[in-house]
Chains A and B, each alone.
Chain A
Amino acid sequence: MTQPDTTTGTPPQLTKNIPAQGATDVIHDIGYRHYDGPRLGRAYARRSLYVQSLRGAYGLGRSARSKILPMILFGLMNIVALILDAVAIYAGTMTELPIDYTDYAFYMTPVLYLYIGSQAPQSVSRDLRFRTIPLYFSRPINQADYVSAKYAALTTAMFVFTATPLVLLYLGALLAKFDFADNTTGFLQALVSVAILSALFSAVGLLLAALTPRRGFGVAAVIAVLFVSQGAVSVVQGICFHQDKADAIGWVGLGSPTTLVDNIQSAFLGATPITPEGVEPSTAAGVASLAVCALIIAGCCALLLRRYRKAGL
């Protein structure tokens, strides 16, 4: 690179790059060379943010200490599936898995809550707390890109979290030579169910986490909302059952994210409900659950967009 000619004030290669009429809008040009290579653009930035957030949800690319919790929880999800597999394969007397595919995620709800509760805040709270949000938006991406990348990443992470043990269960069932058609149907139904669950939990978790820059507080808020709403709904469902108002049980299930997904999978995906004595929700309650679920996801995304319209700017 040649030294700029200080006597004339304009470096030689700049006179070549900048057209004469364009020079008027240069506020302060100290003579660095301009970049005229290809620019990767918004889509690339959004994809990078997605990949980075997805890896971050498992602590990959972060310090060893931040890998501990997601990996322990992920391990816990899978170890239980492996134990069930081992039981199914070595017992020799069984004809099907000891648990339904669709039930698995619901037996592990505390683990799911802890995962979404710990990973949703780590995905968004630190950006708010350390005020890196304006830096993102100084790049070509806008608020919608940021929200959609973070939401897609958390949903994918949650789907991987809930679907991997199902895959393990399915492989175990095939190894144990259980009925292929039954297992494949159950497995695919459960995959749809955990996909809905991932989308719903991620939307709720991300919104609550984005409300506070304090990570610890975000964790408490996410888990409180998911866990307490489920606790309250189960108590009311139990009461409905004892009062012989079994029709109401499905409708009460609209009150918490977990029971919403349970309603949907019981109504449409052939699952056994977690409600007391496995009372099935009516089809109407199932349709309503699907609608409420879609509404919650849309509402959370809209609120997230609103939140980031001003955040840190």
Chain B
Amino acid sequence: MYHPTVARLTYRALLGRRRAFIMFGLPALLLALSIVVRALVGADDEVANNILGGFAVATMVPLIGVIAGTGAIGPEIDDSSIVYLLAKPVPRHTIILTKLIVAVGVTMAFSAVPTLLAGYILNANSQQLAVAYAIAAAIASVAYAALFLLLGTITKHAVVIGLIYALVWESLFGSLVAGARTLSVQQWALAIGERLGKGGYILSDVALPTAVVLLVAVTLAATWFAGRRLRALTLAGEE
């Protein structure tokens, strides 16, 4: 179910050349922000919560998820070099699963790890905030990567649609309509963070069991459907 060559190619497509700049830029900004804030304000749980919740989990994780998730397959479909990969005797579900594993790994490395570091810089993991947010970010990474990988196989405008979900749905509607929050990867992941963090700083609108079920269901369904899409893709390309 894991193909090393596909993994290597995907990894290079994601982090090759200039692409890595955005990937490194976002975590670097988070860490810089944390250092500045810590120097100006000192250790403060409220402030740490604002930055980790408002910036790291709400902004950085979905953006990196969009870039890594769609970037793992989108460009290949776009310039139709995917045909050479599909011509090889590798099951389509294996291709998707491998690409998903790489996308999840990259998203986690560039979002969960910096979140943990930022948490330690901001308040030295007081109230378990750093660990809770890092785990929430890691879990969100899996769901985001699966979701945006699926988008990459469905449409050429995957980046735009992914960003519409991340910006308009999670940020804009999420702040206006309470119902939109129950259907948001961010809130599901925060439900797990809520359980781990102390002091009642992390809040989620979704109950923990619902969140876990939805996370697992969305990830599995998106992965399966992406594999299914890839099986149909060749026919559509040759027509």
Residue ranges of A at the interface with B (Cβ–Cβ < 8 Å): 69, 110-111, 113-114, 117-118, 211-212, 214, 216-217, 219-221, 223-224, 227-228, 231-232, 234-236, 238-239, 242-243
* 6 smallest beta-carbon distances between A and B, as pairs: A216-B159, A110-B167, A231-B59, A219-B159, A110-B172, A235-B55
Q: Knowing A110-B167, A114-B167 touch, does A228 contact B59 (C-beta < 8 A)?
A: yes
Q: Are A236 and B33 in contact (CB under 8 A)?
A: yes
B215 interface contact, C-beta 8 A: no
Q: Knowing A117-B160, A216-B74, A220-B67 touch, does A228 contact B26 (C-beta < 8 A)?
A: yes
Complex contacts, A110 vs chain B, CB 8 Å = 167-168, 171-172
- Contacts A117-B163, A216-B71, A234-B54 known; list 12 others, CB within 8 Å: A110-B167, A216-B75, A217-B75, A219-B159, A220-B22, A220-B163, A223-B63, A224-B67, A227-B59, A228-B60, A228-B63, A232-B29
Chain B contacts with A in 151-178, Cβ cutoff 8 A? 157-160, 163-164, 167-168, 171-172
Least CB distance from A64 to B in Å reads 14
Query: How many angstroms between the C-alpha atoms of A110 and B158 in the bound complex?
Result: 17
Query: How many angstroms between the C-alpha atoms of A236 and B78 in the bound complex?
Result: 39
Least CB distance from A151 to B in Å reads 22
From B43-51, B100-108, B125-133, B199-207, the one touching the partner chain is: B43-51
Q: Are B29 and A228 in contact (CB under 8 A)?
A: yes
Q: Are A219 and B163 in contact (CB under 8 A)?
A: yes
- For A243, the closest partner residue in chain B by CB is B41
Complex contacts, B26 vs chain A, CB 8 Å = 224, 228
Identify whether the interface residues of A are mostly helix, strand, loop, or mixed: helix
B70 interface contact, C-beta 8 A: yes
Query: How many angstroms between the C-alpha atoms of A85 and B171 in the bound complex?
Result: 25
Chain B contacts with A in 17-35, Cβ cutoff 8 A? 18-19, 22, 25-26, 29, 33
B66 interface contact, C-beta 8 A: yes
Least CB distance from A107 to B in Å reads 9
Complex contacts, A238 vs chain B, CB 8 Å = 50, 54
Least CB distance from B137 to A in Å reads 15
Q: Knowing A211-B18, A227-B63 touch, does A113 contact B54 (C-beta < 8 A)?
A: no
B208 interface contact, C-beta 8 A: no
Query: How many angstroms between the C-alpha atoms of A231 and B26 in the bound complex?
Result: 12
Complex contacts, A69 vs chain B, CB 8 Å = 157, 160
Complex contacts, A219 vs chain B, CB 8 Å = 159-160, 163
Query: How many angstroms between the C-alpha atoms of A69 and B22 in the bound complex?
Result: 24
B86 interface contact, C-beta 8 A: no
- For A230, the closest partner residue in chain B by CB is B59
Residue ranges of B at the interface with A (Cβ–Cβ < 8 Å): 18-19, 22, 25-26, 29, 33, 36-37, 40-41, 46-47, 50-51, 54-55, 58-60, 63, 66-67, 70-71, 74-75, 78, 157-160, 163-164, 167-168, 171-172
Pick the contact of B78 from A113, A118, A216, A243 — CB < 8 Å?
A216
Complex contacts, A243 vs chain B, CB 8 Å = 40-41
Q: Are A223 and B163 in contact (CB under 8 A)?
A: yes
Query: How many angstroms between the C-alpha atoms of A96 and B139 in the bound complex?
Result: 47
Least CB distance from A216 to B in Å reads 4
- Can you list 24 residue pairs at the A/B interface with Cβ under 8 Å? A69-B157, A111-B168, A114-B163, A211-B18, A214-B75, A214-B78, A217-B71, A217-B159, A220-B22, A220-B63, A223-B63, A224-B22, A224-B26, A227-B63, A231-B55, A231-B58, A231-B59, A232-B33, A232-B55, A235-B33, A235-B51, A238-B50, A239-B40, A242-B47
Q: Which of B54, B163, B167 has the most CB of A within 10 A?
A: B163
Complex contacts, B158 vs chain A, CB 8 Å = 216
- For A231, the closest partner residue in chain B by CB is B59
Complex contacts, B46 vs chain A, CB 8 Å = 242
- For A76, the closest partner residue in chain B by CB is B168
Q: Are A217 and B19 in contact (CB under 8 A)?
A: yes
Q: Are B160 and A114 in contact (CB under 8 A)?
A: yes
Complex contacts, A228 vs chain B, CB 8 Å = 26, 29, 59-60, 63
Query: How many angstroms between the C-alpha atoms of A113 and B63 in the bound complex?
Result: 13
- For A222, the closest partner residue in chain B by CB is B163
Least CB distance from B84 to A in Å reads 19
Complex contacts, B41 vs chain A, CB 8 Å = 239, 243
Query: How many angstroms between the C-alpha atoms of A212 and B50 in the bound complex?
Result: 33
- For A238, the closest partner residue in chain B by CB is B50
Complex contacts, B55 vs chain A, CB 8 Å = 231-232, 235
Q: Knowing A224-B26, A243-B41 touch, does A113 contact B33 (C-beta < 8 A)?
A: no
